[in-house]
Structure 1
Amino acid sequence: MTLKRTDFYYNLPQELIAQVPLKQREKSKLMVLDKENGDIKHRHFENIIEYLNEGDCLVLNNTRVIPARIFGKRKNTGGVVEFLLLTRIEGDKWETLVKPGKKAKVGDTIVFGNGVLEAVVLDIKDGGIRIIEFIYDGIFEEILDALGEMPLPPYIKEKLEDKERYQTVYSKKEGSAAAPTAGLHFTQELINEIKEKGINIAYVTLHVGLGTFRPVKVDDLSDHKMHNEYYEVDKKTADLINKTKAEGKKIIAVGTTSTRTLESICNDEGLVEAKSGWTDIFIYPGYKFKVIDSLITNFHLPESTLIMLISAFSSRENVLNAYKVAVSEKYRFFSFGDAMLIQ
């Protein structure tokens, strides 16, 4: 059966798109979905610990979002240009999205913040991606922090009062253009409780870029190409995951980014190895999972690669039914919305 993009459409009332995070991260709703039979339970995220057992391993993505949206002006005309930094290629060379694209031709120079930062357009790639090189004096991260904005998704219209609410409490390695939002529900206190129960925590890094949130534009899913995203998994994490599997305990991935990282670095037996590199893995129904046993995730956009991934983990029918229930129960959707545990 050929799967179409439209097979993953569902109707979502606009008022259910969460505009601001809850005051208390762990008070979000939690839908628990049985991946085999589609049974549903309604809980709250602070109850997640009840579904984790001693010896299990919770895998978190410790990437940290950078203030990746910056506004500049073309040096020769003064036209305003918006940049979204996607991926650091090397040194001061970046992959970026530019709006409006026609104002960023090869050779153009863009000036930011009265000249403290400049960018030269080096190349134009597929999908309108620009390769640029920054020119500056000082420390780039400090300049970006002063000039940049947190790159909230376009469906969030409200201003974010506290930038840290678009970061997980365990974020560490800077480099993402978007947050791994399933992790936004955890507090440090909840993580401490999880550890006290004897559940192990492993950290992977996947810098969230265009691959995660670029919309699927082709009708036939087999024609969709994911954008590369950079990941790192160290030996301590790989050893812990392999030990957990050898002992017959569960691997619980927090988020689609952690899932894609683990499934990118495993062999056919589900053993992972410490490595870093780039992944463009696209997971949709028909894919056979090798590492993860359970998945904590948010509620995703219709026809997105993310809803396709979770449909592969359960089934398209179970997931679309769960989303229909979530709409009727007025769950909050997308980045600042409620959570789902699929097990």
Structure 2
Amino acid sequence: MKVELFDFHLPEELIAQVPLKDRDASRLMVLHKETGEIQHETFKSIIDYFHPGDCLVLNNTRVMPARLFGVKEDTGASIEVLLLKQQEADVWETLVKPAKRVKEGTVISFGSGVLKATCVGTSDHGGRLLHFDYEGIFYEILDSLGEMPLPPYIKEQLDDRERYQTVFSREIGSAAAPTAGLHFTKEILQQLKDKGIHITFITLHVGLGTFRPVNADTVEEHEMHAEFYQMTEDTAALLNEVRAKGGRIISVGTTSTRTLETIASKHDGKFATDSGWTNIFIYPGYEFKGIDGMITNFHLPKSSLIMLVSALASRNHVLNAYETAVKEKYRFFSFGDAMLII
């Protein structure tokens, strides 16, 4: 299947650069996956599309302030470091710029030496493995020195770091936000509960592979980076009960979707306590086992994300919806508007 099949014209001005003042003020496109019918709503009206007994699954990962700016100890040259994932105790896989200046043995100092890192090797994808030295608690130091790793498509500075976190973020470990969850407020979550909708959480720590373009000619040639996921016993039991009683499972975002589908695929369509690494790649032809619908943002052309969405609602329906979104000037990507596929 050609990657070009998932291309569309996206005016650059439609890529949202800043979040709206209110999280739930975004627009909502409702796409009916069987018919392709489209409805235009506001996000606050999403409650109307859920039935008592349905279950909403959200990703409770929390984004690390994973971008660090330091200097080489020997030359004073500036180095930018982006933490990707923890390999062991104090060793992290990272991206560094400029990479050619960081070789094995290079020492980088951050915050006048409060945090230091020594390059101890390279990763499979050309990154650097850094061993960090510090006194105290690593995440507290990271919180004081690091910056939010906003996607490369966002050029504006973020005034409030919490706007790149969901209101339910808890488990720190992501290099990027599960952005479909950014629309939710505590009030909307409570209204859903009051209506009889179950709400539960999984964890998937989002890697930068989520922004990685599909550079292959065909979809089948593309490989996803592995990301860590976790499902608790309580969540698994609730999801199995919802499914047994005929309720719908609606995932929030591609990260929740990939986690649910990974686990359901391993356990014959059921859910179970589980954790590990997944590189599941969902594209048209995939048969969903874990979800009945999803809430997602509008994604970039030829991305693995639009391929996943096209697997759920068909490529023709999705590309027609995206063409409509462009005409109607919906806001795209991380700080953009939302789509509900049911």
CA distance in 2: counterparts of 1:124 and 1:90, whole angstroms: 14
CA distance in 2: counterparts of 1:61 and 1:338, whole angstroms: 18
Query: Is 1:306 aligned with 2:296?
Result: no
Residue 125 of structure 2 aligns to a residue whose secondary structure is helix
Query: Is 1:170 aligned with 2:176?
Result: no
CA distance in 2: counterparts of 1:231 and 1:256, whole angstroms: 13
Residue 118 of structure 1 aligns to a residue whose secondary structure is strand
User: 1:274: which partner in 2?
Assistant: 273
User: 1:118: which partner in 2?
Assistant: 116
User: 1:286: which partner in 2?
Assistant: 285
Match of 2:157 among 145, 156, 159: 159
- Give yes or no for contact 1:211–1:280 (8 Å, CA) kept in 2: no
CA distance in 1: counterparts of 2:87 and 2:198, whole angstroms: 33
Spell out the pairing of 1:212-227 with structure 2 (5 A cutoff). Answer: 212-227=210-225
Which moves more between the two structures, 293-302 or 209-218? 209-218
Spell out the pairing of 1:77-156 with structure 2 (5 A cutoff). Answer: 77-156=75-154
CA distance in 2: counterparts of 1:6 and 1:104, whole angstroms: 36
CA distance in 2: counterparts of 1:178 and 1:111, whole angstroms: 24
User: 1:203: which partner in 2?
Assistant: 201
Equivalences, count: 341
Residue-by-residue CA offset, 1:90-122 (whole Å, 9 max, x unaligned): 211111111111112122111111111111112
Residue 17 of structure 2 aligns to a residue whose secondary structure is coil
Residue 265 of structure 1 aligns to a residue whose secondary structure is helix
CA distance in 1: counterparts of 2:6 and 2:121, whole angstroms: 35
Deviation at 1:269, TM superposition (A): 4.1
Spell out the pairing of 1:217-256 with structure 2 (5 A cutoff). Answer: 217-256=215-254
User: 1:46: which partner in 2?
Assistant: 44
CA distance in 2: counterparts of 1:101 and 1:285, whole angstroms: 36
User: 1:322: which partner in 2?
Assistant: 321
TM-score (structure 1 length as normaliser): 0.97
- Give yes or no for contact 1:33–1:322 (8 Å, CA) kept in 2: yes
User: 1:333: which partner in 2?
Assistant: 332
Residue-by-residue CA offset, 1:110-149 (whole Å, 9 max, x unaligned): 1111111111112212321222111111111111111100
CA distance in 1: counterparts of 2:103 and 2:34, whole angstroms: 51
What are the ranges of 5 or more consecutive residues in structure 1 without an aligned counterpart?
none
- Give yes or no for contact 1:73–1:112 (8 Å, CA) kept in 2: yes
TM-score (structure 2 length as normaliser): 0.98
RMSD: 1.0
User: 2:260: which partner in 1?
Assistant: 262
Residue-by-residue CA offset, 1:265-324 (whole Å, 9 max, x unaligned): 114642011111111111111111001001100001111110110011111111111111
CA distance in 2: counterparts of 1:211 and 1:161, whole angstroms: 25
Following TM superposition, the consecutive aligned residue runs of length 4 or more in structure 1 with deviations greater than 4 angstroms are none
CA distance in 2: counterparts of 1:93 and 1:57, whole angstroms: 38
Task: State the AA in 2 paired with 1:305.
Answer: S
Residue-by-residue CA offset, 1:22-53 (whole Å, 9 max, x unaligned): 11111100000011121100001000001111
CA distance in 1: counterparts of 2:146 and 2:35, whole angstroms: 46
CA distance in 1: counterparts of 2:260 and 2:76, whole angstroms: 45
What are the ranges of 5 or more consecutive residues in structure 2 without an aligned counterpart?
none
- Give yes or no for contact 1:19–1:158 (8 Å, CA) kept in 2: yes
CA distance in 1: counterparts of 2:51 and 2:88, whole angstroms: 41
Spell out the pairing of 1:19-30 with structure 2 (5 A cutoff). Answer: 19-30=17-28
Task: State the AA in 1 paired with 2:319.
Answer: L
CA distance in 1: counterparts of 2:208 and 2:271, whole angstroms: 25
Deviation at 1:172, TM superposition (A): 0.6
Task: State the AA in 2 paired with 1:195.
Answer: K
